[in-house]
């Protein structure tokens, strides 16, 4: 009998495969996706023939086949069941931790790689490599031997991951097999799979590897100017085909889907899911995100982290506002207020403090976290895995997790239960463990598991190349075929000796093998649909791309950029022409001429609209919640430190006279005195935080003094000096941080605790003109102006001086008199523009970054489709 392909089956053709399945054939698929689609196709076929009930067909992916066979062999021979995947994972991580605590300790990635290498040996029916490889290989061999010893000590085996053992069991008749065994979707079989296939045939089964589909096309090759154009074209193509035919199965295969998933999802949602004027096209995208990133799972993880000790304020704020807690909706406002206060007031909390913070306005949340605090107090120091699994579940119940979760969250919730159940099975291989160890494992398992909501049978599938092998479609577009993504060449396995991998021709041992494999995969994809398009772009957001040779060989033509305007672009184009209103306020009346703070000049220079918003409309940005002290408080304390220090010790020789201990003491006293001026701000934090902050300031001051000592001799003659000046129509005032005298000449210094501004004092719109204001106010004796950095990242000076040797690395301005002589007019013009009501949205480069008024000035509003090139 000649069987039709699995693809014809999924396409709905009346194939002998249906009969084979109905007669009890076993179909082993290359991956879960193909198994799922075969199940759906079979069900569709039977429903079409009027059947309402039927036996579940024996279709399963290869890994499940091996697991099932290993269980069957054990049941036949008696004995204990093979290790589960979670148990194996635990053993590997235990062994890695025990092997060399100083080198690899707790390295989950290494344990995962070791398990992967172990599986690779099993799939290729290979023994452990001989010693003599590199250090990593030797460690792996030692770990693998320890793994085998541990299995023997436990009286267990890992047959569930060793297909060769399954082949032996089949050959020995310890496993019943179907009369017909079909392999679907395999581009090639591994040696262990070949062994299983041979064993089935030797037992008299009819064994076939279903041929991959081949519609006989060549593939239409296109190259687009940009990656966005390419993706837009592919999505519009799918939308148009599906809308035109009203049914069908289409696929978008993305060569590097893992890297591109976010971008693809964003544009797919824009084009397929909710574009006005067109019907929604259902689609499914593979390669889900880590289970730990699903919001309902993230909430559970935060509950468990909180149960274990302290939780960062940001995480705690996210937790109490989570919709996955009891009564989340009813107490939404109160919880949000509590989250804001917590963020502004502390850096981390424990469960008792959190419960206390919620007591006022959120009684349900308060009760939940108080319950959790009570439970946690009774937790044992060590417990078995199954006991911890129960306690972890109890912690979630205490706070009412998962609350009123939506239906689409239930697959993720079920996955959490599944991970906890797997964790509980560790009881058989692990002794008592601490909560930290238990949580670490569960957290890792949730992070490792890819969450892929089980799909139906959407007309558009977005897949990676290997996932599409074995499926058939009405149309297929393979994209991102450029030099950075295709052919996908991966490095050899890091834990197996390269010579060993090459001797056995393991995957990725030779680059040319990867290239040949990629070529075959592309041919398979081209054959998977009657209409196939292959494409690349010449540029993406990171730069130029070279289209793959496969496209060139197919005579690729330039792709036409599709006409597509995003929803935002459409809405923007249809908006009222608000931009036509001039941004101009009435001139200030004569009564309102100041005094204004000199910061007005900086705002006017940075962006006239900002100056108008800030100084006339009082439109200030909201405080952004964040950890710890606000930048404003930190800056004020740092200024205070300088003021106190240089008030008491105005020149280097004064502090150089102190011995090391006395100087350290003096620095600490200075910082403590400065912190005392902000006592209310510090009072909200634990003592440890205040101490840490003090140590940081002490380090900064010590470093600053070191730099000061390298300067030519100077003396600080003024600190926080008030100055006043009339600029054009306005009276203005300011405060000079420090005035130094160097060799009889005056230098004005302005401290900067954040980013150091550019020294651009010769432009029409200097970024920070306060120093010019101070210089003009102080008069012609000023011989230098400087920023002094007070941050760990930006220390040192940025200065202009009339003469050299006043400050290190200062720029000496040869025509000082002429340059400074222009500053009064510059300041008068800035003040005059402000007074006249000019308020254009015209920011300097980078000015918007720290402004916070973008929602008011609407600088970000623009059309377009979100092009990322």
Whether residue 38 contacts residue 29, with contact meaning beta carbons closer than 8 Å, is answered with: yes
Pseudo-torsion of CA 70, 71, 76, 78, nearest 10°? Answer: 110
What is d(CA 745, CA 784) in angstroms, rounded to the nearest whole number?
8
Decide whether 233 or 830 has the Cβ nearer to ligand SF4: 830
**Minimum distance from residue 621 beta carbon to ligand SF4 (Å):** 9
CA–CA distance, 412 with 294 (Å, rounded to integer)? 7
**CB closer to ligand SF4 out of 802 and 853:** 853
> Widest CA span of the chain, in angstroms?
105
Decide whether 849 or 867 has the Cβ nearer to ligand SF4.
Answer: 849
DSSP 284: E
Q: Is the CB of 362 or the CB of 613 nearer to ligand SF4?
A: 613
Closer by beta carbon to ligand SF4, 606 or else 736: 606
Nearer CB in complex with ligand SF4: 617/657: 617
Shortest approach of ligand SF4 to residue 598 CB, angstroms?
18
The CB-of-858 to ligand SF4 minimum distance in angstroms stands at 8
Q: How far is CA 740 from the centre of its chain?
A: 48
Q: How far is the CB of 836 from ligand SF4 (least distance, A)?
A: 18
- Least distance in Å: CB of 609 to ligand SF4? 4
Q: Name the minimum Å distance from CB 789 to ligand SF4.
A: 23
Q: How far is the CB of 636 from ligand SF4 (least distance, A)?
A: 23
Residue 383's contacts (CB-CB under 8 Å, 6 or more residues apart) are: 391, 432, 433, 435, 438
Q: How far is CA 397 from CA 321, 375, 648, in A?
A: 17, 11, 60
Q: Check: CB of residue 557 under 8 Å from CB of residue 693.
A: no
CB nearer to ligand SF4: pick between 139 and 847: 847
Spatial separation of the C-alpha atoms in residues 577 and 188, rounded to whole Å: 61
Alpha carbon distance 786, 800 (integer Å): 6
Nearer to ligand SF4, 794 or 854 (CB): 854
Gyration radius (Cα) of the chain, Å: 35
Compute the least distance from the CB of residue 599 to ligand SF4, in Å.
Answer: 14
Query: Where on the chain is the footprint of ligand SF4 (CB under 6 A)?
Result: 606-607, 609-610, 613, 841, 843, 847-848, 851, 853-854, 857, 859
Contacts of 64 (CB under 8 A, 6+ apart): 35
Tell me whether residue 130 or residue 849 sits nearer to ligand SF4 (CB atom): 849
Nearer to ligand SF4, 367 or 848 (CB): 848
Contacts of 394 (CB under 8 A, 6+ apart): 375
Separation CA 533–CA 234 (nearest Å): 9
Q: Which is nearer to ligand SF4, 536 or 604 (CB)?
A: 604
| DSSP three-state, residue 766 | coil
Pairwise CA distance, residues 818 & 795, whole Å: 30
DSSP notation for 318-353: HHHT-TTSTTTTTTHHHHHHHHHHHHHH-SEE-HHH
Q: How far is the CB of 579 from ligand SF4 (least distance, A)?
A: 13
Q: How far apart are CA 251 and CA 283, in angstroms?
A: 9
**Closer CB to ligand SF4, residue 583 or residue 828?**
583
* Minimal distance, residue 605 CB to ligand SF4, in Å: 11
Q: Where are the alpha helices (DSSP H) in 255-384?
A: 257-268, 295-308, 313-320, 332-345, 351-357, 363-377
> Residue 614 CB, nearest distance to ligand SF4 (Å)?
8
Distance from C-alpha of 263 to C-alpha of 252, rounded to nearest angstrom: 14
CB–CB of 732/724 below 8 Å?
Answer: yes
Residue 463 or 848: which CB sits closer to ligand SF4? 848
**Which H or E run includes 569?**
helix 567-573
Spatial neighbors of 228 by CB under 8 A, at least 6 apart, are 267, 865, 866, 867, 868, 869
Classify residue 350 as exposed, middle or buried by CB count within 10 Å of its CB (0-12, 13-18, 19+).
middle
Cβ closer to ligand SF4: 395 or 607? Answer: 607
Give the nearest distance from C-beta 334 to ligand SF4 in angstroms: 32
Least separation in angstroms between CB 838 and ligand SF4: 13
- Work out how close the CB of 450 gets to ligand SF4 at its nearest, in angstroms, rounded to a whole number: 40
């Amino acid at each position: 009998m000649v069987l039709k392909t699995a693809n014809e089956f999924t396409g709905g053709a009346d194939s002998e495969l249906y009969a084979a399945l109905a007669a009890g054939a076993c179909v082993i698929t290359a991956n879960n996706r193909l198994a799922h689609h075969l199940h759906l196709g079979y069900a569709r076929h039977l429903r079409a023939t009027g059947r309402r009930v039927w036996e579940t067909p024996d279709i399963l992916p290869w890994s499940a086949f091996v697991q099932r066979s290993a269980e069957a062999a054990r049941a036949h021979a008696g004995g204990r069941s093979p290790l589960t995947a979670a148990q194996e994972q635990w053993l590997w991580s235990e062994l890695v931790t025990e092997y060399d605590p100083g080198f690899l300790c707790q390295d989950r990635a290494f344990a995962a790689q070791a398990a992967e290498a172990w599986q690779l040996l099993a799939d290729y029916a290979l023994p452990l490599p001989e010693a003599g490889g590199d250090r990593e290989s030797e460690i792996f061999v030692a770990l693998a031997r320890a793994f085998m010893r541990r299995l023997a000590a436990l009286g267990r085996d890992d047959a569930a991951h060793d297909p060769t053992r399954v082949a032996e069991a089949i050959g020995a008749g310890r496993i019943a097999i179907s009369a017909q065994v079909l392999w679907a979707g395999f581009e090639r079989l591994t040696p262990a799979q070949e062994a299983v296939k041979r064993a089935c045939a030797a037992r008299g089964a009819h064994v076939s590897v279903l041929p991959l589909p081949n519609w006989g096309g060549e593939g239409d090759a296109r190259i687009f100017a940009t990656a966005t154009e390419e993706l837009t074209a592919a999505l519009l193509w799918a939308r148009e085909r599906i809308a035109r035919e009203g049914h069908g199965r289409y696929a978008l295969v993305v060569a590097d889907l893992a890297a591109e998933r976010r971008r693809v999802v964003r544009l797919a949602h824009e084009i397929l899911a909710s574009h006005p004027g067109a019907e929604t096209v259902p689609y499914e995208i593979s390669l889900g995100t880590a289970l730990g990133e699903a919001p309902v799972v993230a909430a559970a993880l935060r509950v468990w982290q909180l149960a274990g000790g302290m939780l960062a304020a940001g995480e705690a704020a996210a937790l109490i506002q989570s919709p996955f807690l009891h009564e989340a909706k009813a107490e939404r406002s109160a919880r949000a207020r509590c989250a804001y206060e917590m963020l502004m007031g502390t850096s981390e909390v424990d469960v008792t403090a959190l419960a206390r913070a919620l007591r006022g306005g959120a009684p349900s949340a308060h009760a939940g976290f108080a319950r959790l605090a009570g439970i946690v107090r009774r937790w044992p120091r060590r417990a078995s895995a199954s006991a911890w699994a129960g306690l972890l579940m109890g912690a979630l119940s205490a706070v009412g997790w998962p609350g009123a979760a939506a239906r689409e969250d239930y697959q993720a919730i079920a996955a959490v239960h599944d991970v906890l159940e797997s964790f509980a099975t560790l009881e058989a291989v692990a002794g008592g463990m601490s909560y930290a160890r238990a949580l670490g494992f569960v957290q890792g398992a949730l992070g490792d598991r890819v969450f892929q909501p089980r799909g139906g049978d959407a007309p558009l599938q977005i897949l990676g190349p290997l996932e599409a092998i074995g499926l058939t479609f009405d149309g297929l577009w393979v994209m991102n075929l450029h030099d950075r993504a295709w052919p996908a060449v991966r490095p050899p396995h890091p834990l197996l000796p390269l010579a060993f991998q090459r001797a056995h021709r393991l995957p990725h041992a030779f680059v040319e093998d990867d290239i040949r494999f990629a070529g075959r995969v592309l041919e398979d994809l081209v054959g998977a649909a009657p209409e196939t398009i292959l494409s690349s772009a010449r540029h993406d957001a990171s730069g130029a791309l070279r289209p793959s040779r496969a496209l060139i060989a197919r005579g690729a033509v330039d792709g036409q950029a599709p006409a597509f305007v995003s929803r935002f672009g459409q809405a923007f184009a249809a908006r009222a022409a608000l931009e036509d209103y001039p941004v101009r306020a009435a001139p200030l009346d004569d009564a309102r001429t100041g005094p204004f703070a000199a910061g007005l000049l900086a705002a006017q220079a940075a962006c006239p609209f900002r100056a108008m918003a800030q100084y006339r409309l009082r439109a200030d940005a909201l405080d952004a919640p964040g950890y710890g002290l606000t930048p404003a408080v930190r800056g004020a304390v740092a200024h205070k430190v300088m003021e106190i220090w240089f008030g008491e010790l105005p020149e280097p020789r004064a502090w150089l006279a102190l011995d090391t201990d006395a100087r350290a003491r003096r620095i600490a006293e200075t910082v403590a005195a400065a912190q005392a001026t902000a006592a209310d701000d510090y009072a909200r934090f634990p003592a440890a935080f205040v101490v840490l902050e003090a140590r940081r300031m002490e380090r900064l001051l010590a470093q600053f003094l070191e730099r000061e000592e390298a300067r030519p001799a100077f003396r600080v003659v003024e600190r926080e000096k008030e100055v006043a000046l009339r600029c054009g129509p306005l009276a203005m005032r300011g405060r000079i941080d420090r005035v130094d005298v160097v060799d009889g000449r005056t230098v004005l210094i302005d401290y900067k605790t954040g980013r150091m501004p550019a020294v651009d004092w010769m432009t029409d719109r200097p970024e920070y003109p306060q120093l010019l204001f101070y210089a003009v106010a102080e008069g012609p004796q000023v011989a230098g102006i400087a920023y002094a950095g007070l941050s760990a990242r930006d220390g040192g000076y940025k200065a202009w001086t009339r003469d050299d040797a006043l400050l290190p690395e200062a720029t000496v301005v040869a025509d000082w008199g002429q340059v400074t002589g222009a500053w009064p007019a510059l300041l008068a013009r800035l003040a005059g523009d402000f007074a006249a009501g000019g308020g254009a949205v015209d920011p300097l480069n980078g000015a918007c970054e720290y402004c916070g008024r973008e929602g008011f000035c609407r600088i970000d509003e623009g059309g377009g489709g979100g092009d990322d090139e």
